[in-house]
Amino acid sequence: MQIHEKYIVLAKEVYKMVEKNVEVPKVLKTDCFNEGANYAPIANLFEDAYCVDVDNELVNKAKKAFPDLKCFVGDIRELPFDDEIFDVIIDCSTIDHVPDFEKVIIEYNRVLRKDGICLICTWVSLEKLTEDTKKWNKENQYFHYLYDFVNYLQFHFKILKEGEIYTDRKCDVKTDNFGKNMYYFILKKGGYKKNGVGVFRNKKI
Ligand SMILES: C[S@@+](CC[C@H](N)C(=O)[O-])C[C@H]1O[C@@H](n2cnc3c(N)ncnc32)[C@H](O)[C@@H]1O
């Protein structure tokens, strides 16, 4: 399965999870990249869809192509939205475009409603990274170390479901010597942060 098809399958799964509780979910789909293949089908699943991208040109293009989408220029580390307004957040490989994923997780937690669901699909490394190996220069992407990523997620969110995304795109499998994989996480609010003690997969650290 192509990676974008998998994103759509996951977005549909999230849609099913929220449709029981909310009649018209308000959805934030991050980034306006790859029009048609990614954000449009996902946004089209939802009636009330917002997109945010740092790239002004991509936002303008998206606005023209899909007038019903509410597209904003903005940084996922500092979202231009009020607290607790979205029922769903869908991030398909936007978070791996920033070095400081922690800021993004805090922002997603801030703008998500109490019973909201957040989907994050991201490249991770199964091995600890150095400043040199962290950045994939070609696409200006950053690979987050899975252990740190999951641990930080669990401070803010409860992980409802997670898994590896296997894809037939050549560069999406373990192609290099430090093991980068695409993972997805379906999250709801409510982390395990208790008394300042972190947990990783229910083990104290
Ligand atoms: C390569 S694309 C992500 C992959 C894409 N979702 C796909 O399906 O292939 C990266 C997108 O994230 C946007 N982006 C990068 N950094 C961002 C940030 N800090 N906040 C919002 N959007 C960002 C870029 O402008 C670009 O549209």
At the topology level, CATH places domain 3-204 in Rossmann fold (3.40.50)
List the residue whose alpha carbon is closest to atom 26 of ligand 1: 33
From the CA of 74, how far away is ligand 1's center (Å)? 11
Does residue 42 sit in helix, strand or coil? helix
Contact (CB, 8 A) for 128 and 172? no
Q: Using alpha carbons, select from 160, 123, 153 the residue that is nearest to residue 139.
A: 123
pTM as predicted: 0.89
Which pLDDT band holds residue 201 (cuts at 50, 70, 90)?
low
Nearest CA to ligand 1 atom 27: 33
Which range, of 25-29, 66-70, 106-110, 112-116, averages the lowest pLDDT?
Answer: 66-70
Structure tokens at 112: 């998500």
User: Average of pLDDT values for 85-105?
Assistant: 94
Residue whose CA is closest, atom 15 of ligand 1? 97
* Burial of 105 (C-beta count, 10 Å sphere; 0-12/13-18/19+): buried
What tens digit of pLDDT does each residue of 146-185 get? 888 998 898 899 999 998 886 544 443 344 434 567 889 9
Contact between residue 136 and residue 142 where contact means Cβ atoms under 8 Å apart: yes
Binned at pLDDT 50, 70 and 90, residue 205 comes out as: very low
Instruction: Give domain limits for the chain.
Output: 3-204
Provide the 3-class DSSP secondary structure of residue 9: helix
**pLDDT tens-digit profile of 96-114?**
999 899 999 999 999 999 9
Residue 193 pLDDT > 80: no
Ligand 1 neighbours by CB, cut-off 6 Å: 4, 31-34, 38, 52-55, 58, 75-77, 92-94, 97-98
Query: What does the mean pLDDT of the chain come to?
Result: 82
What is the atom index within ligand 1 of the atom nearest the CA of 32? Answer: 27
Residue 68: is its pLDDT beyond 50?
yes
CA 152 – CA 170 distance, rounded (Å)? 29
Closest to 123 (Cα-Cα) out of 175, 77, 165: 165
Closest ligand 1 atom number to CA of residue 55: 25
Q: Check residues 139 and 8 and name the one with the higher pLDDT.
A: 8
pLDDT in tens, 115-151: 999 999 998 887 787 776 666 655 677 888 888 899 8
Mean pLDDT to the nearest integer, 55-74: 90
For atom 17 of ligand 1, which residue has the closest CA? 54
- Ligand 1 nearest atom to the CA of residue 4, by list position: 8
Angle subtended by helix axes 146-156 and 101-111, to nearest 10: 30
